[in-house]
Amino acid sequence: MTAISIEGVEKRFGTVTAVAAISLAVNDGEFFTLLGPSGCGKTTLLRMVAGFADLDAGAIRFGERRIDRLPPHRRNTGMVFQNYAVFPNLTVAGNVAYGLRARGVAPAAIVERVARALALVRLDGFGERWPHQLSGGQLQRVAIARALVIEPEVLLLDEPLSNLDAKLRVEMRGEIRQLQQALGITALYVTHDQEEALAISDRIAVMRAGSLEQIGPPAEIYSRPATAFVAEFMGVTNLLTGTVLGNAGGRLRIGVGGIELVAHGRGVAKDSRVSLSLRPETLRLLRPGEAEPARWSRIEAVVGRIELLGATTRVECVAAGDVTLRLVFLDLVPGAVVPGASVALTYDPDRVAVFPAA
Amino acid sequence: MIALRSRSVFPLTVAAVALLFLGLFLLYPVIAVFHVSFLDKTGAFTLDNYVRILGRSFYQQSLWNSLGIGALATLAATAVGVPLAFCLARLPVPGKSAILVLAALPLVLPSFVGAYALVLLFGRAGIVTHALQSLGLPTGSIYGTPGLVWVYTLTLYPYVLLPTLAAFKAVDVSIEEAGQNLGASRWRVFWTVILPVVIPSVLSGALLVFMETLENFGVPFVLAEDKPILAVEAYKLFVGEVAANSASAGVLATLLVACTTAALLLQRYYLGRRRFATGARTAPPELRVGHGLRWLATAFSWGVALAALLPFLTVLAIAFLEYRGPVLHPNLSLGNFADLWHRSSRPLVNTVTLATSAALGAALLGVPVGYVLTRFRSGLSSILDVVAMMPFAIAGTVLGIGLVVAFNSGPLVLTGTPVIMVIAYMVRKLPFNVRASSAILHQLDPSLEEASINLGVSPVRTFVQLTVPLMLGGIVGGMVLTWVTVASELSSTVILYSGPWATMTVVMFEALEGTGAGIAAAAAAVLILATALPLLLVYRLLRRYELAMT
């Protein structure tokens, strides 16, 4: 159980920079997720921690100890691979015992620790089975038990759920989180799935093209994205671009198309171009004659397309100057909301994220 | 990507050992042959050898014969292999898997035994020839071009068949359906869509056939008679009954290397890349055809597969008949085998010893090389890749001559020892072992090895304790194939062997030249059994990797 510190780490493949001078610190016992689209460098960064990719610059430490020069088999990390990488020529118990044997643990102790590890991932009694007899979810549990049984300093997970079906994915991520909490182990997790990252992490680092976009706890990343990229990557949003019309002590008036939006932000000069993100669920529809809540803002618009998505309904509204705003209703839309109807929308300016124009 | 810095010791060691081995036992001997061909009797540089040899129409003829017969055989093998591939891929032919087993055999059975069978049947004193003559019917000669093309076609057609079959099976049925949907007839779709997609595979197999015909020594030795053939003439000049002439032999060997290298380069770097992947998930379905076509396809497929094996079956049968001098009598007898055994049991022991050593050696060298080539990409590995494929382009005759010239004197004298034979076999079979092991490795996810390393096992131990066991099926398959092809190797053996280390192939070779027809037949039968049986035993293992051969 160890903190990880990544200091100015760089990796180039030929002329392509896979990881560009990244620094970040993972706290002891923290569940830390590297999130980003494919090719953003998140897997390369994880593999540098594991020792499967060399650093072109920078350093990686576990606690105070520098580990980036150690060969991968001396780093004492437990890695869970995307495709499980369960050895097909060994039984479940043989797989879990593999790392213990490499460490010269006494046979009696191996038996006991393997049994405990299998119990931990709810595979008691599966020790004598062969990998080809197991389902994807069970293979994933074997891979996790195998990584945990060696009592690694850090647990590394490389998109471990991407080969599972949707339902199992949700179940397994809960289990992984629970195990990590129970053992108090430091975990570095790689995924391209923002929902998974939000659900499982203590903190998330969003990466793009080899660089960090933002680090923070899930709620902050989602509702206060630092860049347009993060705003869009973390979920559906209304991403608008406009000009600052006025700044009154951090309360910004921003002209977008033919409407004026209000948001909070510091250090934004008048007349500068900004982007802003307004999540669909933060927009509310006002009933006819209803006034907006205190300190909230109001937008007049016309209903456009309506899409039923199942549990939710998405409504597109068009405001003056062709500004399209998407709303999400968790319940059925009121009967008055039909294409072409005039409606009034309202939102809390606190929930509008502002950043320099993309 | 693999961390080269922290894990570079292993690949570097493997690459160094392999490059050293091939440098010493492949490049150096071949260069020695080139070198010799430019020296006069006093050891000074000269082009006289080339002027003299190439000025003689006999040797010019040997070059044209080799190329011409090779071209004819390549055309014939393609004409047999492509329709057969189509029958097996798309037509309802009963017993397809049996045909495939049979069809793969001619590649590893000793081709000169096939040639010998042809002589036994249709030669001047052949059984069929005698029968026809006694009926007063006219007989043609199978010596020279017709016999050579016939034998090459029937022993080498699998080189075209196997890749073409794979290509036909890889054609996604939806591109056919798209063609038909756009209004093309089935026939038109075949000519305009399917055939163009498989053509690169066909050509690449055909070039392998061409290379094999150029390199082959045993078949022309048996069948060419007075028609000069490059590989045979190089051998004759080198061992020279009157006066050995390594300079002249070097000239012919250089010509041979030039031809085979050109064919190999064409095969590798032009055709190897022109593959159309259509990404079929499942093989396209069998076509529904009428009874007539169905019978035709069945007769053709079984006919080819059996015709290719018929010579070998004939030899087996003849070996169990009684020979009185050169005359065959229709009585069952083990006399030929008794004669063979009484003469000396040593050649059989030699064959087993040498083939086993070579199979072990080639695997020991080839498997790590295949591993490094597949798992570690670097400048060094691309050099290794090229060098490890070079033995393909060097005919056995040339390698044999080169090894003798290179290790005849100097600090390392190996000529006349069994070691030099094993080395020659290892060099010749290395490309196959390398390709077989990288073919399996492509199916093994690299993250298995990473998982092992991550769990604390060093890369070298991971290779030994995890990767090798996972590759075992393929490694054993590769070793068996090496074993059987070494057991029937002739071209470098006849140059390199010394008295006590004569092999079964040498016994046959000598018997062909002399009188012992019965002994030759028995030796041939032993060779056939020694190659066919192990293959059939491990066929299941081999089937997955049969394409690695081409």
- Sequence-distant (6+) residues with CB within 8 A of B403 are B25, B29, B414, B415, B420, B423, B424, B492, B495, B496
Please give the DSSP secondary-structure letter assigned to residue A36: -
Out of B6, B445, B447, the one facing A72 most closely (by C-beta) is: B6
Residues B314-346 have pLDDT tens digits of: 888 888 888 776 667 777 788 888 888 877 788
With an 8 Å Cβ cutoff, the interface of chain A facing chain B consists of: 13, 44, 47, 50-54, 69-79, 81-83, 85-89, 98-99, 102-103, 143, 146-147, 150, 156
* Cβ–Cβ gap A87/B447 under 8 Å: no
pLDDT for residue B226: 81
Place of tokens 């074997």: A142
Bridge partners for A211 per DSSP: A208
| Residue A35, helix vs strand vs coil | strand
Q: How confident is the model at residue B548 (pLDDT cuts 50, 70, 90)?
A: very low
- Percentage above 90 pLDDT, chain A: 70
Q: What is the pLDDT of residue B542?
A: 56
Q: Which two three-digit tokens encode residue A94?
A: 């043989």
Query: Which pLDDT does position B360 carry in this prediction?
Result: 94
Res. A57: pLDDT tops 90? yes
Q: Write out the DSSP string of B13-26.
A: HHHHHHHHHHIIII
Q: Do A85 and B1 touch (CB under 8 A)?
A: no
CB contact under 8 A, A81 and B447: yes
Do residue B451 and residue A150 have CB atoms under 8 angstroms apart?
Answer: no
A50 neighbourhood in chain B, CB within 8 Å: 450, 454
- State whether residue B379 sits within 8 Å of chain A by CB: no
Q: What is the C-alpha to C-alpha distance for residues A130 and A142, in angstroms, rounded to an integer?
A: 11
Q: How far is A146 from chain B (nearest CA, A)?
A: 8
Segment B2-15 mean pLDDT:
66
- Using one digit for the tens of pLDDT, what is the confidence trace for A222-278? 999 999 999 999 999 999 999 999 888 888 999 998 899 999 887 788 888 999 999
Closest partner CB to B456 (pick from A44, A103, A156) = A103
The count of CB pairs under 8 A between chains A and B is: 90
Question: What SS3 class is residue B412?
Answer: coil
- The closest alpha carbon to B25, from B405, B485, B487, B386, belongs to B405
Instruction: Please give the Cα distance from A302 to B40 (Å, whole number).
Output: 99
Q: How confident is the model at residue B72 (pLDDT cuts 50, 70, 90)?
A: very high
Confidence at residue B5, expressed as pLDDT on a 0 to 100 scale: 47
DSSP at A266? S
pLDDT band at B278; cut points 50, 70, 90: low
Shortest alpha-carbon distance between residue A152 and chain B (Å): 9
B474 Cβ under 8 Å from any chain A Cβ = no
pLDDT at B1: 37
Q: Letter for the amino acid at B44?
A: A
| Interface mutation target, options A87, A100, A113, A148, chain B, most CBs of B under 10 Å | A87
pLDDT tens across B285-310, in order?
788 888 888 999 999 999 999 998 88
Question: B372 with B11: CB under 8 angstroms?
Answer: yes
Beta carbons of B450 and A99 less than 8 Å apart:
no
Q: What is the pLDDT of residue B515?
A: 59
Q: What's the confidence (pLDDT) of residue B545? A: 47
With pLDDT > 70 as the criterion, what percentage of chain A qualifies? 99
Distances (CA, A) of B165 to A34, B265, B480: 46, 23, 24
Give percent of chain B with pLDDT exceeding 90: 20
Average of per-residue pLDDT values in chain A: 91
CA–CA min distance B463, chain A (Å) = 13
Give the one of B4, B450, B456 whose C-beta lies nearest to A85's C-beta.
B450
Q: What is the pLDDT of residues A179-220, one digit of tens each?
A: 999 999 999 999 999 999 999 999 999 999 999 999 999 999
Residue with tokens 């998974």: A196
Which of A53, A81, A150 comes nearest B1 by C-beta? A53
Residue-averaged pLDDT of chain B: 83
Candidate from B450, B455, B457 with C-beta closest to A146? B455
The pairing of beta strand A273-278 with beta strand A353-356: antiparallel
pLDDT for B2 equals 41
- Residue B434 pLDDT grade (very low, low, confident, very high; cuts 50, 70, 90): confident
**With bands split at pLDDT 50, 70 and 90, how would you rate the model's confidence at B426?**
very high
In which element (H, E) is residue A32 found?
A: strand A31-35
| A358 vs B175, higher pLDDT | B175
B6: confidence class by pLDDT, cuts 50, 70, 90 = very low
Q: How far apart are CA B81 and CA B163, in angstroms?
A: 10
DSSP secondary structure, B168-194, as one string = HHHS-HHHHHHHHHTT--HHHHIIIII
Q: What is the mean pLDDT of residues A285-290?
A: 86
Distance from CA of A126 to the nearest CA of B (A): 20
Rounded to an integer, the average pLDDT of B445-456 is 92
CA distance A263 to chain B (A): 46
| 8 Å CB contact of B452 and A74 | no
Short-list A4, A161, A136, CA closest to A67:
A4
Over residues A308-315, mean pLDDT? 88
3-state DSSP assignment of residue B79:
helix
Task: List the single best residue of A16, A46, A52 to mutate versus B (max B Cβ within 10 A).
Answer: A52
> pLDDT band at A49, cuts 50/70/90?
very high
Probe site for chain A from B449, B455, B458, B468 (most A CB atoms < 10 A): B455
Digit-coded pLDDT (tens) for A109-157: 999 999 999 999 999 999 999 998 999 899 999 999 999 999 999 999 9
**Which residues of chain B make contact with A87, given a CB cutoff of 8 A?**
448, 451-452, 466, 470
Which distant-in-sequence residues (6+ apart) come within 8 Å of A124 by Cβ? A115, A118
HSE value, Cβ hemisphere, 13 Å, CA-based, for B46:
16
Q: What is the pLDDT of residue B134?
A: 83
Helices (H), B266-345: 291-319, 335-343
Tell me the average pLDDT across A332-351: 88
Residue A298, amino acid: R
Q: What's the pLDDT tens digit per position in B516-531?
A: 677 888 888 888 888 8
Residue B75's pLDDT is: 96
Whether B373 has a pLDDT exceeding 70, the answer reads: yes
How, if at all, do strands A154-158 and A77-80 pair? Answer: parallel
Q: Which residues pair with A24 in a beta bridge?
A: A6
- In this prediction, residue A105 carries a pLDDT of 92
Tell me if residue B471 falls in helix, strand or coil: helix
Q: How confident is the model at residue B67 (pLDDT cuts 50, 70, 90)?
A: very high
pLDDT confidence of B546, banded at 50, 70, 90?
very low
Query: How buried is A63 (Cβ within 10 angstroms: 0-12 exposed, 13-18 middle, 19+ buried)?
Result: middle
pLDDT at residue B277 greater than cutoff 60: no
pLDDT of amino acid B409: 79
What's the pLDDT at B275?
Answer: 54
Where are the extended beta strands (E) located within B403-467? none
Task: Give the residue-averaged pLDDT of B439-452.
Answer: 87
Is 60 exceeded by the pLDDT of residue A77?
yes
Query: At B549, is the pLDDT very low, low, confident or very high (cuts 50, 70, 90)?
Result: very low
Nearest to B141, CA basis, from B126, B131, B153: B126
Decide: pTM greater than 0.80: no
> What is the DSSP secondary structure assignment for residue B85, as one 8-state letter?
H
Q: What's the pLDDT at B356?
A: 93
Q: State pLDDT tens for residues B170-201.
A: 877 777 777 777 777 777 878 877 888 888 88
Q: Is residue B550 scored above 50 in pLDDT?
A: no
Instruction: Nearest chain B residue to A72 by CA: give it.
Output: B454
